Structure 1
Amino acid sequence: MSEVYSLHSDDDIGSSSNVTDQIKKLHDDPTITKWRDYQKLHGTISRTTTNELGDDDTSSECSHDEQEQQHIVEGEQNYPHTLLTYRQKWFMVFLMTITGFWSSLGSPIYYPALKELEQKFNIDENKVNVTVVVYLLFQGVAPAISGGLADVYGRRPVILGGMLIFVVASIGIAKAPSYGVIVFLRCIQSIGISPTIAISSGVVSDFTVKRERGTFVGATSGLVLIGQGIGPLLGAVITAALHWRAVFWFLTIGCGSCMIIGFFLLPETKRTIVGNLSIKPKNIINRAPITYLPVVQKRFHYDNPDYDSLDLNKPTLDLSTAFRITALPEIFLSLLPGGLQFAMWTLMLSSISSELSVAPYNYSLTIIGVCYLPAGIGGLAGSMLTGRVIDLYYRRSLQKFQEDKESGKISEDTPFNNFKVRLACVLPQCFIAICSFILFGWSVDKGWKIPSVLITSFVCSYCTMSSLSVMTTLLVDLYPTKSSTASSCFNFVRCSLSTIFMGCFAKMKQSMTVGGTFSFLCGLLLCANLLTFIPLTKGIQLRERRAAKMEAKRQAKRDIEKESDL
């Protein structure tokens, strides 16, 4: 049975007059030769959706899932939201995994080699940590810029370009003669590859809708970030068997191979460019070689494209959008707990390497690598299971919301509360994370038996990846037309916090011990968890008030212009 979905709301596309103007442009566009024939057969587009609240150019999006479930065209012809089958959607998840995986792997695979770098270049722990910190810093900043590029120019060229930069930088580090060169090239590495995680969420949003988005976003996030869990194991094995430089040759070969696969198989999915994939991209950089095969062209019916599936709301390039979205109070407070968890998770991975190599454990590099496996498994389980849970909860909440409207319990103009539906699924994990991180910190601090370290690292990873899946899904729900930019907001928050904490970690351990450090950070997480109730209960009202203020300003401006004309 084919799935059918709706157009964007007035806030997504603009006023009715703007839509008419844009459709006229389609009529006059010589590249769209079949539009008139399509319109004669099926009529014009009927837009009968309601609006969610919005704020200026941070864009408001449809809030009701029913708006995504029907694509209404005059006549009785319906068009699918995407031409991808269920299996093909999972294949896209696979492609997103092998592209974004190297971003999450690039930092932790390096941890086991830090001691060797200290000896090689005669530097202390603080200096060697700089090579980790700069990677995390640009991992937070770069996606905020590249996400906007992907929303304007397409996902494919930005992903492949970033992977190419990563490959070249990895070769440079593998041949680096000095500590300064490594620091510089680690920055370039991160700038190139880190946007792929945020853009992966944008790709998923292009071919999914809210009722299934949690499953696919969760799977993509979990599989991509599994590199954080297994990276240290790979790094330990490679460093022990060969040399620290071999780690970067591994990254070069692995990412280069995946880049070649992506070059041939990864299609453009941005809906302003390809619609539901039935529209052939104009620019060659957006075309995958596989789409030239007759069987693929037939599958995507390039000979009879669904022009009505083309998103008319083409975003303009604004590199500050991600930062302005992050600054919104309901967004920042929603993302803060997940960001703190990710920062502590980064410290946890670093601590496993440093604490298990000394007394009372004194483990070898290979054994330490194996100890990272529970963290990797926990992270994968958190993403996969949470994705399905939040999808199930979303469908039930939406059904109850619609029933309450029909019974008159709530008014017809009441908006669907995305904040409540999404954040309610993550609150239990946020509070469980407090206990698990405290226990982990004191277990390695006091030298408890190794099962305590492994079990707590599993739970910490589960909670962290669960939170990441929910936060990313919430952002994509709120900003589907700017999904890559929106996803980069959480990337910015979590990586910025990781950079700050990682930069201070060595000194915090000296003054407060490992257990004290994690206890202090868990106190911050507790405060952040309590602040989450503000967007959960008041998020919709905050957006409504802001939208009303902006509309009042626009109206006042129009009144002034009318008076000046008179």
Structure 2
Amino acid sequence: MTTTQQQRDQDALKEEFKISSDPDAAPVVPSGSHEKTEQNVVSTIEQPTDDNEVYSVFTPTQKKLIVLTASLAGFFSPLSGSIYYPSLNTIAEDLGITATKVNLTVTTYMIVQGLAPMLTAGFSDGAGRRPAYIACFVIYLAANLGLALQNNYAALLVLRCLQSGGSSGTIALANGVVGDIVTSAERGSYVAFASVSSILGPTLSPILGGLLSQYWNWHGIFWFLLAFGGVFFIPLFLFFPETCRNVVGDGSIPAPKLNWNITDNIRHANREKAELRVDEKKQEELRKNYRLTFPNPLSTLVVLTDLESALILIASGLTLACFYAVSTGASTAFRSVYGFDDMQVALMFIPFGVGGIVSAFTTGKAVDWNYRRHAKINGFPFVKNKQQDMTEFPLEKARLEIALPLFYLGALTVLGYGWVMDKHVSLAGPIVLLFVMGYALTAAFQILNIIMLDVYPGRPAVASAANNIVRCELGAATSAAIVPMAKAMGNGWAYTLLAFILLAYSPALLLTMKSGVKWRRAKKQKQEEKDARMMKDPS
């Protein structure tokens, strides 16, 4: 064993048994085995330079509560979209419009759902997550009030866009919060908490929408959203802490007055009593960069120009596009095939959502297990709560080895669902397929989302906003097209086409697995050269 290898093993051993003096810091998890491999000889993984420096001062319990709250805030976007599905035919009848026109309100909702996070992501990276949350909820609540009072198609179309703009910004913020406080090594453990909104939305909202539409009226949907949004917003405003690393660093720096909240006040008072002093130099540096500026969407569009990001985003978008196509087409399909009313249609979303819930509480464990396995193979210390240099670590391979089988399974279930609906088989057929589809598509999307946060560790909200653009625009396209496609081709061939597109795209993910490390290495080198030039010539 070489001297370098011995030193690295000793450092890792010290890391295993080190106890942090910071009471807010999460415990350090022992690293895995450090076997020597050929890759270890070729490349050296950089380790944190300061042994006492943690990625976030929030405790594991605090992190889970913060991520869960952020995820529930993001719940309002899928909730507001999916709660609408069971009543689409009822709305069309009441307003005297066609099914195609009412489906257009779903399409425009999703278009705005993709574009709005471009604005909130950049704004929140500079001003903090809390001001962005406040702006989003004010817009959302105002839109719901208008929707509850309106009674014509033009107002419905415009206000649904405004409702989408307010609610969808919170999705990028939720992923931004995860990136603020959770490292790559522990990210899989938080999948269940971070995925609550995307799973509960499609599961619960159609049932709520069906109940409200059946026993009240479709205007009641928006009164419910107004009341629910207001009840959630008040405690969020009072207690949700600021997490943006550009504003509060690792959480040890007090937030500016605009980002004030009760939780941070109490937490910093306790830290002061424990004689944990604020790093004034770091605080001054963060305050210099603190700014309230009009959001610039170009920073999000830049992400789309990166090859690896584009390949991952398209895969993620296609996965959710199939999910949305099934959700949007369900109302028409189950009415025509089985003669269901609004409530019965809503109940058919339960197996879809249950599959998603199962995936949330199993996918994270599989992702973390495979990460640890690759860490052991590559002699890479597995350390929680410290952001390590991941340039030479095969992140894409570790994640996609779990995601690809699920990607294929999702495509096969979409194919099967189309044909069981086309052949009018027993209701058990679509129920089983919807469960498996909900599991596979949700799990694949979760892992692809994790990869995006891995690839863009410094700007998680921007990465999430780019993800939203692609998935929502592709979802809008399939939502608008699925009913005309089913009428023209039949359910079988319509969903076969979607499944074929998924399967045909899978080689792009295989390429990402193979070349991901090389692409990230080249990107890092390019950034270092750019930084060096700027230091030589600041002008």
What is the TM-score of this pair, normalised by structure 1? 0.80
Cα distance, 1:419–1:343 mapped onto 2, change above 3 Å: same
**Unmatched runs of 5 consecutive residues or more in structure 2:** 1-18, 29-42, 382-388
Letter in 2 for 1:519: T
2:318 corresponds to which of 340, 349, 369: 340
CA distance in 1, matches of 2:390, 2:166: 44
Aligned residues: 489
Closer/same/farther in 2, CA of residues 403 and 91 from structure 1, 3 Å limit: closer
**Alignment match, 2:353:** 376
Aligned-partner residue type, residue 431 of structure 1: Y
Counterpart of 1:111? 85
Mapping of 1:187-198 within 5 angstroms?
Answer: 187-198=161-172
Q: Which amino acid aligns with 1:481?
A: G
Q: CA 1:403–1:505 in structure 2 vs 1: closer, same or farther (change >3 Å)?
A: closer
Tell me the CA shift for residue 323 of structure 1. Answer: 1.5
Partner SS for 1:304 = coil
2:458 aligned counterpart, secondary structure: helix
Q: Secondary structure at the match of 1:481?
A: coil
The code of the aligned residue for 2:423 comes to: K
Amino acid at match of 2:265: Y
Q: Is the 8 A contact 1:330 1:534 kept in 2?
A: no
Contact conserved, 2:71 with 2:193, CA < 8 A, in 1?
A: no
Deviates more, 1:139-148 or 1:550-559: 550-559
On the 8 A contact 1:222/1:465 being kept in 2, the answer is no
**Alignment pair present for 1:145 and 2:123:** no
| AA matched with 1:243 | N
Out of 240, 250, 253, the position equivalent to 1:276 is 250
- Give the one of 157, 174, 179 matched to 1:183: 157
- Give the distance between the partners of 1:372 and 1:400, measured in 2 at CA: 42
Aligned partner of 2:304 among 326, 330, 334:
326
- Which of 294, 297, 300 is residue 269 of structure 2 equivalent to? 297
Structure 1: distance between partners of 2:258 and 2:390? 44
Which residue is 2:177 aligned to? 203
Q: Report the AA paired with residue 461 of structure 2.
A: S
Contact 1:4–1:71 (8 Å) recurs in 2 = no
Q: Distance in 1 between matches of 2:525 and 2:152?
A: 57
Q: Provide the rounded CA distance (Å) in 2 between the counterparts of 1:107 and 1:64.
A: 47
What CA deviation, in whole Å up to 9, does each residue of 1:55-103 have, x standing for no partner? xxxxxxxx99874xx5616xxxx24432322222221133113211111
In structure 2, the CA distance between the partners of 1:201 and 1:302, relative to structure 1 (3 Å rule), is farther
Residue in structure 2 matched with residue 474 of structure 1 by the alignment: 451
Preserved contact between residue 222 and residue 384 of structure 1 (Cα < 8 Å): no
Partner of 2:14: none
Give the aligned residue type for 1:85.
Answer: T
User: Is the 1:162–1:192 Cα contact (8 Å) retained in structure 2?
Assistant: yes
**Cα drift, residue 162 of structure 1:** 0.3
Identity of aligned residues (%): 28
Decide which of 417, 426, 438 is 1:440's aligned counterpart: 417
Match of 2:113, SS state, is helix
User: What TM-score do you get using the length of structure 2 for normalisation?
Assistant: 0.84
In the alignment, which of 349, 352, 356 is matched to residue 327 of structure 2? Answer: 349
Shift of 1:303: 6.5
Q: How does 1:394-473 map to 2 (within 5 A)?
A: 394-402=371-379, 415-473=392-450
How far the C-alpha of 1:347 sits from its partner, in A, is 1.3
Q: Structure 1 stretches of 5 or more lacking a match?
A: 7-62, 405-411, 562-566
**Inter-CA distance 273–237: structure 2 relative to 1 (3 Å threshold):** same
Amino acid corresponding to residue 475 of structure 1 in structure 2: M
Q: 2:96 aligns with which of 92, 99, 122?
A: 122
Q: Which residue of 1 aligns with 2:210?
A: 236
User: Offset of 1:305 from its aligned partner?
Assistant: 2.1
2:475 counterpart residue number: 498
Q: Which moved more, 1:323-332 or 1:517-526?
A: 323-332
On the 8 A contact 2:418/2:492 being kept in 1, the answer is yes
Deviates more, 1:433-442 or 1:365-374: 365-374
Instruction: Indicate whether 1:263 and 2:241 are aligned.
Output: no
Question: In the alignment, is the contact (CA less than 8 A) between 1:118 and 1:125 conserved in 2?
Answer: yes
- 1:176-231 Cα distance to aligned partner (Å, 9 max, x none): 13110111111111111102112111111211111111221443124443211221
User: Are 2:318 and 2:474, in contact at CA under 8 Å, matched by a contact in 1?
Assistant: yes
Distance 2:224 2:398 in 1: 42
Aligned equivalent of 1:387: 364
1:121–1:211: structure 2 CA closer, same or farther, 3 Å change rule?
same
Q: Which has the higher contact order (CA 8 A, sep 6+)?
A: 2
Partner of 1:533: 510
- Between the aligned partners of 2:451 and 2:432, the Cα distance in structure 1 is 29
Instruction: Provide closer, same or farther for how the CA distance between residues 555 and 304 of structure 1 changes in structure 2, counting only shifts above 3 A.
Output: closer
Give the counterpart letter for 2:141 in structure 1. Answer: V
**Would you say the 8 A contact 1:112–1:353 is kept in 2?**
yes
Amino acid in the other structure paired with 1:109:
I
Aligned partners of 1:5 and 1:81 also within 8 Å: no
Counterpart AA for 2:106: V
Contact 1:215 1:384 in 2 (8 A): no
Output the amino acid matched with 1:186.
R
User: In the aligned structure 1, how far is the partner of 2:527 from the partner of 2:328?
Assistant: 46
Relative to 1, partners in 2 of residues 1:522 and 1:64: Cα closer, same or farther, differing over 3 Å? Answer: farther
Q: Is the 8 A contact 2:189 2:365 kept in 1?
A: yes
**Structure 1: distance between partners of 2:27 and 2:298:** 31
Measure how far apart 1:315 and its partner are. Answer: 9.5
The one-letter amino acid of 2:104's match is V
How far apart are residue 292 of structure 1 and its match? 3.3
- Which residue identity does 1:332 align to in structure 2? A
